[in-house]
Structure 1
Amino acid sequence: MTADEESANVRHWARESTSAFGRTVGTRAALAVLAVTLFSLTLRFFALGSRVFHWDEGRVGYWILRYAENGIWEYHAVIHGPFVYHVNKYLFQLFGASDFVARAPVAVVSGLLPLTAWLFRERLNRVEMVTVGLFFAANPIILYYSRFMRNDVLLAAFMVYALAFYTRLFDTRKPRYLYAGTLMLALAFTTKENVLVYVVTWVGAAVLLLDHRLQLSGEDRAEALPGPLYEAVHAYRSAGENDRSPFGAFGKKLVVRLLSSRWTLHVVLGLLFFFAVVIFFYAPRSRGIAEPGLWKAFSNPGLFPAVIEEATVGSWESFVGKWGEGNQKSYIDTFRSLGAVLWKSSAALLALAGVGFLTDRYVGDKPRDVVAFAFYWGFVSIIGYPVIVENAFPWEVVHAVVPLAIPAGVGLAILVRWGSEAVTEGDAMSATLAALLVLLVAGQVAATAATTTYMHPADQYLDDGESERNALVQYGQPAEGIRPTLERVRYAATNNEGTDVLYYGSDFYVADESENDRWAAGGGWYDRLPLPWYTEMYGAEVDSTTDVQEIESNPPPVVVARAGDRQVVAQQLDGYRAFEEELTLWGSETVFFVDEEALPPEQRGESG
């Protein structure tokens, strides 16, 4: 073998070895991301149906059940986007309605968030992909509201998916990522109206990134800007002053280039795809009533213009109007309230997000767009949401925490790398300090998630001494302990004919119960929440009265009244047991009177 042949063989072996090593590292990283994703899904699905529905879950759940029954739905911004309505309608029809099934879509969509780290694999190293995934999986505020039938986590997750697919599009130039990202963006528009805030935030973050690149020197700028954009900027600067107008030589060349680009067709198809998804979700459904509806239009195409107009123009007006007034309260008070939730639930994430962003921007060889973009997105959300939210509810901080998980994962990876290098170099002090910091972060996240999500998911306080409030539980959450009483109501309704549940008192009274079949419900229906979700799910016949004599004449197996009316109602009932519960965290004491004979056999004769 000649020297040249031997050299060629060595080079060939080196290339194959390098390629094999890359595949091995990539496979290990992919398996690690998959493991984190399985961990994320497990955290969400474990005992998913154990917490009783929050008021907000209850009202939406009730109207989904009514929609599944009567086939009538139309968009109302006050109860947010149509995604959970349409998805859960079909899930209820397939698997039956339950707390678990109702929350499953949010659990799945958020549980798969760690997979997005793999789409960022050109921008994040393998350790960072895992640490970013871990923050998506176990951050307490993300985890708590991933087990909640609300749109906030859905919106944040879909926007991260969109960012990940669009980033992958930029890295690979493969059109399929354009359509995947557009689908995620369209689904985000079907969740909640503050997607408009996301769009504004994204535009602002993109402008900042572009400005960073334009400030680089000529050689660096050529590498930093996307090819077509760099060429456009260079052509603009090279053009004469008269040629820079939209109708000058530069403008004409730009238009010709855009029209001749192979991406023009994909962009047009992407826009059509976006509107098709939005129209499908927002189009009204009108089975059995004399109004235009999506399914009616397929048998009567003349209805399509009205359906499309309602799904686009009509929904847009309501969509934008939801955010027209903004926060009517003090910015400082709202900022403090949301800031307290953010700090108690995500202190480690906040600190590491700052570390990750600053280190990547000022210490690394070249700042990475995805890290800066996510940090700007999250930071602006922290300072911006107190301006726009109507109420300082804890779920609002989701919109800042989810994007900040990306730079926070980068920050955690720095600690891991620091510790790994210290071990390699035999620096015991640095290795120990790095390990302690990582354990401190893991401990804070794990302890907070365990107490808020699993141990006290419906409690006002996290300790028996009632000294530490649960920052993640909102007032509309029924207090812990109501589930056994709900099961008694279920049993009584299942084994009864006629009216099953009678509400007494002005708080609960509705003159005509059929008013509750479509949004908005009548009278005191909202003060019953979340009970309407459960009685509808149980198939219970419900009525209400303000006449105490009506109770005595023909009492149903279950009578519900405020605790203040307990004695008045008790005098009208014989052989009933009373169970007092809170329909919110506090201040809503409600008594359930259940006929002794309507209780499960094993509970009859017990003291009330």
Structure 2
Amino acid sequence: MATVEDDDSTTESAAQGSESALPTRFGVDRLVLVVAGITAFALFARFLFLGERIAHWDEGRVGWWILQYVHTGDYAYRAIIHGPFYHHVNGLLFSLFGASDFWMRAVVALLGGLTPLAALGLRHRLRDIEVALLALFLTANPLLLYYSRFMRGDPIVAFFMFGAVVAFVRLLDFRQARYLFLGVAGVALALTAKENAIIYPVTWIGAVVLLLDHRLFLAREGERAWTAILKDRLVGFIYGVWHWLHWILLAVVEFFAIVVFFYGPRDGDPGDVGLYNAIGQADLGMFVTVVDRATVGAWKEFYGLWVDGGMSDHAYIPYLGDLAETLGYGALALVVFAVIGFVVDRYAGERPRDLVAFSFYCGFVSVLGYPIVTDIQAPWAALHAVVPLAIPAAVGLGLVLRWGRDALADDDPVGMGAAAVVVIVAVSFVVGMGVYGVYLAPQAQEGENAMVQYAQPGDDVRPALDSMAMAAAANEGTDVLLYGDFFVDRGTNATTDFVYDGYPRDSQLVPNEERGITLAPACADWFNSLPLPWYFNTSGADVSCADGTMELEDAAESEPPIVIVGAHDEDDEDNQENEEAQAREQFPEYWSATYELRTYGTETVFLIHPDYVGEVNASATPPE
């Protein structure tokens, strides 16, 4: 049976080898070809049917804000919608290619598809088979696959931070400054996607402390005292920082340059505070203000909401249970192999590999820690555990494969059978969950897919949205009429100026008389309506609201192409007024289709004018 110290093992000493020794003498590195092939498949899997899933509530919300930035040129950091990465990157894509569900997710799909390439950066610390398996885990894990097709900051953070870890490991091993700058760029870009990136260095420090503690524990059996070893480590660290101080200072400049570029406010009015205004006008005073808003101001916004705002005041156990359920559904094989890889590497070898232990500690602490800091129960929180756990998982699966290989060489049918069963079960689980959860049921209703978060529409609303787009292109006047308490909020004119002195107008840092944002359509209960405002915006639909039966009767005279109303629930004691029946009575000739706007509890009726049904909306039913 194979052990961790067999003849093809790779230990920490491999880090001392030259990078030039990695390619084969024929110039074709088979491992590079394998990982490149895996990466090509990762990209294919992420872009396949990328635009088919209806936008999640949060995708619709952030997508709408990105479009406002594209239309107005106004941007200021709003902590409630997290970092500015998507505003600037997707804003550019929307300007070039148009706003759609596909282009909304293209960047995260690209980054998720390229992440397996980073496994090659660890080949000096891992066996070749482990590098290939790491790339496979990063490619095929169902949870990673699902959320690399989802416009959310968490996968961007996880991918950039994984790349940063790879860069910093190579910095330690090869002492080349380029890895310092790559790692710092990864950290800075992760921070522009979502603020929880600041948690990563904390977990890294904790993992390093555990590694140091392990070294000091082993030192008890050596000739040198643990205090002497600790002193040597500290002196070496201080000397290294001093020797690299000029590079570190440049890296600090790089970090803040990235942060200021992304977090710096923009304003379409040339006279107002904005990064491009300051640069274009060579206005040093305005530029200083921009830097202040991008750093101090952004920190105040973040701290006021996410640290001091009580957003994470909730019971711990339910959130831990929800995270465990997500891992069990979308990453069970990876977690099991990670435990195997960590335990065997740590206790069966002559010297455990720091990278394996470090990654396991980071993943394990993330499992325990994210239920504390997250504000809602969401499967995407598990990404921050799954990505680091992929490294020990690759080690664990590699060990099982070596057991099978040795059993085959020893003509051991029991060993071969056991290894084959483990691999077949694991592969079946990953493929089955991936195909079902990502492609067949990406917007499943409650209880059907644990990777789907509650605010994902449970039904495919696309046919009704196609009818809406058809109406927006052909109709004059109101294209969509919202009706009922769930969708109508009796608002007035929407705000078009979203930024005041480099701050968002809903910020506590803005004077009271200047504060306030009204979202479009202003008459709608905007948050209840999500993700529909995103589709209203992308289709250019003209949206109106009817508040009460009198307004509904008046609106019926113009025959709006689409009428949206909440489905009547006879069991809801707080909503006995049958608004659905009222709408159907006013539009008796309209076809109808009913969809869930969340995974459960939000059945919504779309009434569609006969002129806009046709073949576009095969899911609609004719009037009775």
Q: TM range, normalised to the smaller chain?
A: 0.7 to 0.9
- Structure number with bigger Rg: 1
Which residue number in structure 1 is paired with residue 321 of structure 2? 336
Indicate the residue corresponding to 2:592 in structure 1: 578
**Gap runs ≥5 in structure 2:** 1-19, 499-516, 569-578
2:307 is equivalent to residue 323 of structure 1: yes
Which of 63, 66, 72 matches 2:65? 63
Contact 2:591–2:621 (8 Å) recurs in 1: no
Aligned residues with identical type, % of pairs: 41
Which string of whole-angstrom CA distances, capped at 9 and with x for unpartnered residues, describes residues 44-86 of structure 1? 1111111111111111111111111111111111111111111
Counterpart in the other structure of 1:127? 129
Paired residue for 1:408?
393
SS of equivalent to 1:188: helix
Change (3 A) 1:290 1:514: farther
Residue 288 of structure 1 corresponds to 269
Cα deviation code 1:207-261 (max 9, x no counterpart): 1122223344499899x99x9x97564689xxxxxxxxxxxxxxxxx68x855x2
Per-residue displacement from partner, 1:178-206 (whole Å, max 9, x unpaired)?
A: 11111101001111121122121111111
User: Higher mean Cα deviation, 432-441 or 116-125?
Assistant: 432-441
Residue 590 of structure 1, aligned match among 593, 599, 604: 604
| Alignment partners' CA distance in 2, 1:221 and 1:398 | 43
- Which moved further from structure 2: 273-282 or 206-215? 206-215
- Quickly say closer, same or farther: Cα 1:266–1:345, change in 2 above 3 A: same
Name the counterpart of 1:92.
94
Secondary structure of 1:280 counterpart: helix
Identify the residue that residue 489 of structure 1 maps to in structure 2.
Answer: 468
Alignment correspondent of 1:607: 622
Check conservation: 2:479, 2:562, Cα contact below 8 A.
yes
1:312 corresponds to 2:256:
no
8 Å contact from structure 2 (residues 74, 497) kept in 1: no
Cα distance in 2 between the residues matched to 1:447 and 1:265: 51
- Residues 312-391 of structure 1: pairs in structure 2 closer than 5 A: 312-321=295-304, 322-324=306-308, 325=310, 327-391=312-376
1:552 matched to which residue of 2? 556
**Is the contact made by 2:42 and 2:113 (CA closer than 8 Å) also made in structure 1?**
yes
Distance 2:62 2:223 in 1: 51
The equivalent residue for 1:155 is: 157
Aligned to 1:11: none
Structure 1 residues 25 and 380: CA distance shift in structure 2, 3 A: farther
CA distance in 2, matches of 1:54, 1:112: 24
Query: What is the aligned partner in structure 1 of residue 143 from structure 2?
Result: 141
In the alignment, the residues of structure 2 paired with residue 437 and residue 384 of structure 1 have an alpha-carbon distance, to the nearest angstrom, of 30
Residue 224 of structure 2 corresponds to residue 203 of structure 1: no
Q: How many residues align?
A: 562
Deviation at 1:25, TM superposition (A): 10
Equivalent pair of 1:378/1:404 in contact (CA under 8 Å) = yes
Cα deviation, residue 21, structure 1: 8.8
* Distance change (3 Å), C-alpha of 1:52 and 1:514: same
Q: CA deviation at 1:136?
A: 0.8
| Alignment partner, residue 275 of structure 1 | 256
Identify if the C-alpha distance between structure 1 residues 20 and 185 changes in structure 2 by more than 3 Å, giving closer, same or farther: closer
Aligned to 1:530: 531
Whether the 8 Å contact between 1:578 and 1:591 is mirrored in structure 2 is yes
Unpaired segments ≥5 residues, structure 1: 1-17, 237-253, 462-467
Partner of 2:449: 470
RMSD: 2.8
Task: Measure the CA separation in 2 of the matches of 1:344 and 1:520.
Answer: 40
* Distance in 1, Cα, partners of 2:68 & 2:80: 17
Structure (1 or 2) with the greater helix fraction: 1
Which amino acid in structure 2 is aligned with residue 452 of structure 1? Answer: G
SS at match of 2:54: coil
SS of equivalent to 1:112:
helix
2:82 is aligned with 1:80: yes
Contact in 2 for aligned 1:193/1:323 (Cα 8 Å): no
Matched AA of 1:487: D
Q: How does 1:182-201 map to 2 (within 5 A)?
A: 182-201=184-203
TM-score, structure 2 normalization: 0.84
Please tell me whether the aligned partners of residues 482 and 581 of structure 1 are also in contact (alpha carbons under 8 angstroms): yes
**Displacement, 1:269?**
0.3
Structure 1 counterpart of 2:403, one-letter code = W
Q: Offset of 1:391 from its aligned partner?
A: 1.7
Alpha-carbon distance in 2 for matches of 1:457, 1:89:
25
557-566 vs 263-272, greater mean Cα deviation: 557-566
In the TM superposition, what is the alpha-carbon distance from 1:439 to its structure 2 partner?
A: 1.2
Whether the aligned pair in 2 keeps the contact of 1:516 and 1:525 (CA below 8 Å) is: no
Give the letter for the 1:430 counterpart. G
